[in-house]
């Protein structure tokens, strides 16, 4: 007999595609109307799925979509978090199909937000619908889906602090991460934190002719390059003063355990076209992307960047520089250390301005909790294999905030893959993964309700 | 009795402003129609001034405006060179008035091209008109005004090679440089050459999420910064292998002579808002901008440069890097050395592409020639002071080409000032300088004709 999921999967996909058509880019004010439209769309779908008390909770920024279904106060309560905003889609010219005209090709949904995070949020909406229609929802459920995750969730913590009673729950459930592969299911139990800065270097007070002035003025681009170059030493250790002071160094045993996860440097290189692996001396690729902090320039600009040649010495040069943090670094600590360090290494002739953007705390979630075990068992049921616990490289800053504000642990039940190209051109999400998510989530609820009795 | 110049100066200015309204940006194809319009405008003005045989000589790029007036084959012939194209005007937002809506404020003409080089070319057109109307032209004169100087004059040498008879002359006269100040008139006798490159560094084959991949991939922006940083050592010497091999080192006597030119590092710093002077160890500011070669990044870009934060590792990073050359470096030599060096210093994990743009040869012109003396005397007459011979920092690559192809020396009779902000926002040209140029040029012709007898 075909399941409810079998019978409805075409409609589920079609609804998701409709949502992906709305370019909810929170970073760029020109998409403001679309971000709001994406929130309205979600509100309507939650109501249709049977969620109650659905509302747009206003914030100083984009609204938080809240809704709940309280079956019985004696049952455990799951708070589902996700986000309906997406990363900017540029460079548009590198997309093989337009980012906001979703298409399904080779069993994958191609669109900005397909995986991060609209596709994964929509699994929860449809899993809820499925439970309501097909056997009942076994826990109380609350949804809290925000519109500012990609710009730092700066209004979420204000909302959480002001609504602790409303958000009371037993566990947080988030699908905004990935698995090792469809053959090696996994659950992330650690996330790196983030410290993000925009830096500005000013040399002369106006753009200058490089012939007349070249050689006698500090060129802010050359200076910025020199400053950035100095942030790593010859072993790719980060040179920011005090950067490693609080880094949690894993034991030899823990590292040996990590090394058992399936990984091939050859396949890693091949998957992203690298000629050679790269990173901090003394650590493996998996360690470099999970238990070690990093520093990367995310953007740089200055001077003439148009066609042809312009012989100019720019007045200013800019870069966006971010650091991924690990336990027990804190975003505030590293932000301060970076700022101090970057200002200190500036040569005398230039002025440096460091503007911190949002940050996020690194976090490790427990694997011995009832909720984690419920999630692991759900995956084992639908994938046929026990999931591997992994430490992820990305940051979901709000996980640490939920712990401190609500006292709740999080289960990161993510169905994406590294190859989904989130934050990149041609982001996609496997149809298999989308449907597997919808199938797996109800098992989590059932396992969790049963174990909480 | 008011002079012809006094009587006509308002009209001269008004005509120049009309020309400056045409955005003849040769580097950007979107201005193609305007560049051609600027050539037509010049052709019409030359004809009105009394120049004969005026024509637009077609090239593979923008046309060269040629015209002449042969008074008597026994008289010496002056070939006036200049250019009607201008630098790109961006960043537009830094202009206090729009770059192609010229205005006269505080006795200065503000517009892109006001000084470089439309304003200075137009002095020659009006000086010719004045001589024709007021006493006669004392030499044969040829005009050759091109439209591709700001993009490397790549078609000019082809034109010159094919038209050696037509261009036969005794000296080249160019107004495309500046003076030390209106109180310290000077004539440039040396110019630096140029080697200009665009470089591209590729790391992974697509943009990546910095959380998932950060730490384990060579970030092309960080790599590019490190490569650029390594191009200068701690004394600001350039590290490109063999870079200084052919540099003409001046004698202690020559350097002592140069040090007599009026210069204040304090005023220099103040004029461009610098906190400290900067440059190659062991050399003065004047030396750093004239007799020493340099390396500057003219533009850099890569990754996310929009508003807010995007946690991306870019696939590619780019820079425009140029070197100013001195005798006896050659553009071909340094272009090859830079390319080899830059490819060699690339770390294993990345791919580097170096694309040379146009170059130019450094040049030193004689001060003991009849033409130089005629120019010096003309300036002494109109400024009341003997001009100081200086070595300039900029490049007019065609000066070396004229020497090699036509066997002719050049006189650089420039009336701009360093503070004119050429190649920068708010380029301007003093009304005093414009009119002083028109006044001085006829003296040059008279002196030159007299001395050539």
The token duo for B337 is 């050395």
CB A265 within 8 A of CB A285: yes
Classify residue B416 as exposed, middle or buried by CB count within 10 Å of its CB (0-12, 13-18, 19+). buried
End-to-end CA gap in chain A? 31
pLDDT band at A74 (very low <50, low <70, confident <90, very high): very high
d(CA A338, CA A243): 8
Taking CA atoms, B447 is separated from A57, B137, B376, in Å, by 84, 12, 10
Compute the nearest-CA separation of A416 from chain B (Å): 12
Asked if the C-beta of B141 comes within 8 angstroms of chain A's C-beta atoms, the answer is: no
Partner residue facing B204 (CB), from A203, A273, A309? A273
3-state secondary structure (DSSP) of residue A328: coil
pLDDT at B20 over 70: yes
Beta bridge partners of B308: none
Selection from A320, A330, A240, A250 nearest residue A291 by Cα: A250
Predicted-complex ipTM score: 0.73
Mean pLDDT of B66-75: 96
The C-alpha of A296 sits at a distance from chain B's nearest C-alpha, in angstroms, of: 7
Query: The tokens of A299 are what?
Result: 């953007």
Q: Which tokens hold the place of B69?
A: 């007036």
**Angle at the Cα of A339 from the Cα atoms of A335 and A344, rounded to 5 degrees:** 150
Contacts of A322 in chain B (CB under 8 A): 210, 309, 311
- Give the pLDDT of residue A307: 83
Give the domain A193-247+293-360 fold. Answer: Alpha-Beta Plaits (3.30.70)
CB contact under 8 A, A216 and B88: no
DSSP H helices in A21-94: 32-49
The 10s digit of each residue's pLDDT in A229-268 is 999 999 999 999 999 999 989 889 888 877 877 789 999 9
Residue whose tokens read 């400053």: A227
Give the one of B268, B289, B348 whose C-beta lies nearest to A214's C-beta: B289
A206, A309, A392 ranked by CB distance to B358: nearest: A309
Cα nearest neighbour of A216 on chain B = B279
Instruction: State the pLDDT at residue A308.
Output: 81
- Answer for the pair A317, A302: CB distance below 8 angstroms, yes or no: yes
Q: Computed from CA positions of residues A260, A266, A267, A273, in that sequence, does the dihedral angle turn out positive or negative?
A: positive
Q: What is the pLDDT of residues A375-409, one digit of tens each?
A: 999 999 999 998 988 877 666 778 889 998 999 99
Assess A276–B contact: CB distance below 8 Å, yes or no. yes
Could you count the other beta carbons within 10 Å of the beta carbon of residue B389? Answer: 17
Interface probe for A, chosen from B113, B179, B205, B212 (most Cβ of A below 10 Å), is B212
Tokens of B409: 């020396």
**Cβ–Cβ contact A419 with B under 8 A:** no
In chain A, which residue's Cα lies nearest the Cα of B292?
Answer: A215
Q: φ, ψ for residue B225 (rounded to 5)? A: -60, -45
Beta bridge partners of A80: A143, A173
Give the nearest partner residue to A310 out of B288, B298, B392, using CB atoms. Answer: B298
Task: Examine residue B91 and say whether the peptide bond preceding it is cis (omega within 30 degrees of 0).
Answer: yes
Bridge partners of residue B105, in order along the sequence: B108
Is residue B343's pLDDT more than 70? yes
What three-state secondary structure class fits A385? coil
- Of the residues A92, A117, A200, A300, the best mutation for testing chain B's interface (the one with the most B CB atoms within 10 Å of its CB) is A300
Of A228, A348, A357, the CB nearest to B309: A357
Q: Classify domain A4-191+362-452 by CATH number.
A: 3.40.630.10
Q: What is the band of B260 on the pLDDT scale with cuts at 50, 70, 90?
A: confident
pLDDT at res. A394: 66
- Considering only CB atoms, A225 lies closest to which of B150, B213, B229, namely B229
Chain B contacts of A397, Cβ < 8 Å?
Answer: none
Q: What is the rounded CA–CA span in Å between residue B59 and residue B25?
A: 17
Tell me the shortest Cα–Cα distance from B450 to chain A, in angstroms. 34
- Structural element, H or E, at residue B363: strand B363-364
CATH class of B193-247+293-359: alpha beta
Chain B residues 352-371 with a CB less than 8 Å from chain A: 357-358
Cβ pair A303:B302 closer than 8 A: no
Q: Chain B partners of A224 at a C-beta cutoff of 8 Å?
A: 225
Q: How far is CA A240 from the centre of its chain?
A: 25
Please name the residue of chain A whose CA is at the shortest distance from the CA of residue B299.
A303
Residue A69: other Cβ atoms inside 10 A: 21
Which chain B residues touch A89 with a CB distance below 8 Å? none
Reply yes or no on whether B149 is catalytic: yes
- pLDDT tens column, B367-420: 889 999 999 999 999 999 989 888 776 667 788 899 989 999 999 999 999 889
Q: What is the mean pLDDT of chain A?
A: 94
Cβ–Cβ < 8 Å for B117, B175:
yes
- The predicted-structure confidence for B187-200, as pLDDT tens digits, reads as follows 988 888 899 999 99
Beta carbons of A298 and B313 less than 8 Å apart: yes
All CATH 3.30.70.360 domain ranges in chain A, comma separated: 193-247+293-360
Going by C-alpha positions, the residue among B354, B24, B88 that lies closest to residue A307 is B88
Which among B116, B129, B146, B149 is annotated as catalytic?
Answer: B149
Q: Is the pLDDT of residue B261 over 80?
A: no
pLDDT tens digit sequence for A316-343: 999 999 999 998 999 999 999 999 999 9
Beta-carbon contacts of A241 under 8 Å, excluding residues fewer than 6 positions away, are A337, A340, A341, A344
B58, pLDDT greater than 80 = yes
Closest chain A C-alpha to B93 CA, distance in angstroms: 13
Q: What is the pLDDT of residues A92-149, one digit of tens each?
A: 989 999 999 999 999 999 999 999 999 999 999 999 999 999 889 999 999 999 999 9
Phi and psi of B66, rounded to 5°? -115, 145
Which residues in chain B have Cβ-Cβ distances shorter than 8 Å to A240? none
Strands A140-146 and A64-69: antiparallel
Residue A201 DSSP symbol: E
Contact of B431 with B107, CB cutoff 8 Å = yes
Q: Enumerate the CATH 3.40.630.10 domain ranges in chain B, comma separated.
A: 4-191+362-452
pLDDT of residue B111: 98
Catalytic choice (B34, B68, B85, B117): B85
Q: Give pLDDT, residue B394.
A: 66
Q: Which residues of A touch B29 (CB under 8 A)?
A: 307
What sign does the dihedral A155-A27-A390-A426 (CA atoms) show?
positive
Contact B357 A274 (CB under 8 A): no
Report residue B144 as tokens: 């050759």
With CB atoms and an 8 Å threshold, state whether A224 touches B222: no
| Residue A161, pLDDT score | 96
- How far apart, in whole angstroms, are the C-alpha atoms of residue B194 and residue B323? 6
Q: What is the CA radius of gyration of chain A?
A: 23
Query: B432 and B426 in contact (C-beta within 8 Å)?
Result: no
pLDDT for the residue B338: 98
- Alpha-carbon distance of B430 to B128, in angstroms, equals 20
How many A×B Cβ pairs under 8 Å? 361
Assess contact for A24 and A101: CB atoms under 8 A.
no
Average pLDDT over residues A283-306: 94
For this structure, is A85 an active site residue?
yes
Q: Is B223 on the interface with A (CB under 8 A)?
A: no
pLDDT per position as a tens digit, B38-57 = 999 999 999 999 999 999 99
pLDDT at B393: 66
Among A154, A196, A216, A347, which would you mutate to test the B interface (most chain B Cβ atoms within 10 Å of its Cβ)?
A216
Residues of A in contact with B277 (CB under 8 A): 216, 349
For residue B389, the cross-strand partners are B187
Domain with CATH 3.30.70.360 in chain B: 193-247+293-359
C-alpha span between B272 and A315 (Å, rounded): 9
Position A310 scores a pLDDT of 85
């Amino acid at each position: 007999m075909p399941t409810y999921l079998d019978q409805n999967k075409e409609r589920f996909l079609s609804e998701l595609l409709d949502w992906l058509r709305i370019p909810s880019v929170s970073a760029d004010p020109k998409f403001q109307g679309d971000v709001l439209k994406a929130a309205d769309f979600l509100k309507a779908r939650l109501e249709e799925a049977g969620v109650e008390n659905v509302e747009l909770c206003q914030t100083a920024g984009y609204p938080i979509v809240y809704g709940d279904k309280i079956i019985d106060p004696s049952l455990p309560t799951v708070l589902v978090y996700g986000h309906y905003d997406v990363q900017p889609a540029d460079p548009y010219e590198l997309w093989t199909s337009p980012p906001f005209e979703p298409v399904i090709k080779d069993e994958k949904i191609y669109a900005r937000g397909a995986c991060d995070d609209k596709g994964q949020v929509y699994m929860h909406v449809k899993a809820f619908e499925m439970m309501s229609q097909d056997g009942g929802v076994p826990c109380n459920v609350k949804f809290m889906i925000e519109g500012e995750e990609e710009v730092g969730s700066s209004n979420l913590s204000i909302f959480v602090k002001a609504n602790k009673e409303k958000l009371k729950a037993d566990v947080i459930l988030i699908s905004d991460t990935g698995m090792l592969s469809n053959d090696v299911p996994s659950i992330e139990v650690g996330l790196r934190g983030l410290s993000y800065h925009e830096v500005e270097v000013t040399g002369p007070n106006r753009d200058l002719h490089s012939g007349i002035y070249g050689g006698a003025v500090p060129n802010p681009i050359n200076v910025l390059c020199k400053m950035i170059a100095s942030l790593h030493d010859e072993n790719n250790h980060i040179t920011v003063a005090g950067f490693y002071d609080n880094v949690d160094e894993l034991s030899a045993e823990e590292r040996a355990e990590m090394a058992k996860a399936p990984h091939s440097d050859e396949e890693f290189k091949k998957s992203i076209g690298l000629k050679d692996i790269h990173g901090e001396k003394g650590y493996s690729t998996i360690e470099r992307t999970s238990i070690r902090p990093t520093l990367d320039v995310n953007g740089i600009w200055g001077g003439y960047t148009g066609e042809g040649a312009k012989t100019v010495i720019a007045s200013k040069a800019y870069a966006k520089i971010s650091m991924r943090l690990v336990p027990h670094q804190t975003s505030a600590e590293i932000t301060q250390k970076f700022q101090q360090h970057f200002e200190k290494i500036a040569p005398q002739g230039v002025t440096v301005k460091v503007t911190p953007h949002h940050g996020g705390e690194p976090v490790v979630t427990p694997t011995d909790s009832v909720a984690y075990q419920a999630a692991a068992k759900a995956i084992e049921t639908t994938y046929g294999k026990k999931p591997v616990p992994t430490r992820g490289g990305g940051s979901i800053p709000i996980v640490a905030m939920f712990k401190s504000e609500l006292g709740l642990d999080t289960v990161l039940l993510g169905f994406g893959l590294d190859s989904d190209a989130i934050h990149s051109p041609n982001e996609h999400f496997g149809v298999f993964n989308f449907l597997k998510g919808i199938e797996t989530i109800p098992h989590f609820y059932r396992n969790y309700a049963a174990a909480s009795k």
